[in-house]
Amino acid sequence: MLLAIDAGNTNVVFAVFDGDAKRGQWRISTDSRRTSDEYAVWLLALMAMKGLKAVNIHAAILSSVVPAATFNLVRLCTDHFGCEPMRIGDPAVDLGIGILLDNPREAGADRLVNAIAARARYPAPLIVVDIGTGTTFDVVDSNGNFAGGVIAPGPNLALDALHRVAAQLPKVDIVRPPQVIGKGTVGAMQSGMFWGYTSMIEGLLGRIKAELSPTGDPVVTVIVTGGLGRAFAEASGMVHHVDNELTTRGLLLVYKRNVAQ
């Protein structure tokens, strides 16, 4: 079985695959101080609830955008599962996707993996909108290449910043208000966060589509992922699919591509 690990800025996601079948998936908050032993105690207990043991894992693959957490995640694999993880970003790992950036090494591991999984599942050209700590727009062109994208702050990050710097503004939840015009401070903030971000997402999608497909043919497929993705997708008529398994499925695809060689 394969252990796939996606270390993001907010959460670390672990998934176990038996062939193409996902046997379990778990997440824990990202903390660079967490040791490999602490990860192991937590993860092995959850795996046991699914009937899985450390000896069932024969390989691992790791995508990390948090360098400070990477060392202990690698140690988790080597010390507790007996395997050196394949790592996204290692020049020896073939991703199977062209990267059309001025400096291809700048491409985030999670963004590339999302693009790989989306290209395998949906028709290109396409845009993956990942709404998490950051809001990223990852673009795959008609030839299946990673063409670049857009990075903006995520809704929760923007809301926390607003709360910190404005003494009279409370901390509010991100919810979909029934109307745009807020009738109080909380309603106004919720509207600004939700409808403001919806408008930003739709505006950027429109501009990216105009560059990718100026005539509207071929149609550009839009996929939304991330913790807040579904709520924003449901508020917009521009989204074709919501898919929260892109990153782990992309890791599986990269692993299979490299072991087959």
230 is in an annotated binding site: no
Q: Which residues contact 253 (CB under 8 A, 6 or more apart)?
A: 96, 116, 117, 120
Contact 143, 98 (CB under 8 A): yes
105 is in an annotated binding site: no
At residue 247, what is the residue type?
T
Instruction: Point out which residues pair with 130 in neighbouring strands.
Output: 136, 225
Angle formed at CA 224 by CA 219 and CA 227, multiple of 5 degrees? 180
10 is in an annotated binding site: yes
Question: Using CA atoms, how far apart are residues 2 and 24, in angstroms rounded to an integer?
Answer: 11
154 is in an annotated binding site: no
- Angle, to 10 degrees, between the axis of helix 155-165 and the axis of helix 185-212? 140
Active site residue 79: no
149 is in an annotated binding site: no
8 is in an annotated binding site: yes
Helix (H/G/I), strand (E/B), else coil: 64: strand
94 is in an annotated binding site: no
Question: Using CA atoms, how far apart are residues 253 and 189, in angstroms rounded to an integer?
Answer: 41
41 is in an annotated binding site: no
130 is in an annotated binding site: yes
9 is in an annotated binding site: yes
**Active-site pick, 94, 102, 110, 173:** 110
Residue ranges for the known binding site are 6-13, 108-111, 130, 133, 185
Task: Name the binding residues for ATP.
Answer: 6-13, 133
Binding residue ranges for K(+): 130
Q: Hey, which residues are catalytic here? A: 110
